[in-house]
Amino acid sequence: GHQFSLDCWHNYCAHAIQNGPACILTTCPESTCSEALTEEEIKICAPELLQKFQTYQLRNYVEVNPKTRWCPGRGCEQVACAQG
C-alpha cells in the first residue's frame, strides 16, 4: 500500500466512516490509486471504527444480494439467506 502516517490514515478512515454507508466505496488516499479501503486498514489505524465499518459492509451485502433478507423478527438483526 501507499505510505501515510498512522495519524493520517486514522483521520482519513474516521472521515470516511463518519460519512456513512458510502464509506465502503472509499479508496486509498493516494489520488491515483483505486484500491478499496479494507477491514485490515481500519483494524490497524482506527480499530474503534471497525465494527461500524463492518456493519456498513453487511448492510450493503444484504441490500445488493437478491438471495438475502433481514430477518423479519422484531428486534432481530440476523440475515436470512435463500438456498440455491
Q: What is the pLDDT of residues 11-41, one digit of tens each?
A: 999 999 999 999 999 999 998 999 999 999 9
Residue 1: what pLDDT? 60
Query: What average pLDDT does this structure show over 53-76?
Result: 92
Dist CA 29 CA 43 (whole Å): 17
> Residue 51: in which H helix or E strand, if any?
helix 50-64
Q: What is the pTM of this model?
A: 0.83
Cβ-based burial of 18 (10 A; exposed 0-12, middle 13-18, buried ≥19): exposed
Query: What average pLDDT does this structure show over 69-78?
Result: 89
Residue 83: what pLDDT? 83
Distances (CA, A) of 73 to 2, 38, 47, 60, 83: 44, 31, 31, 20, 19
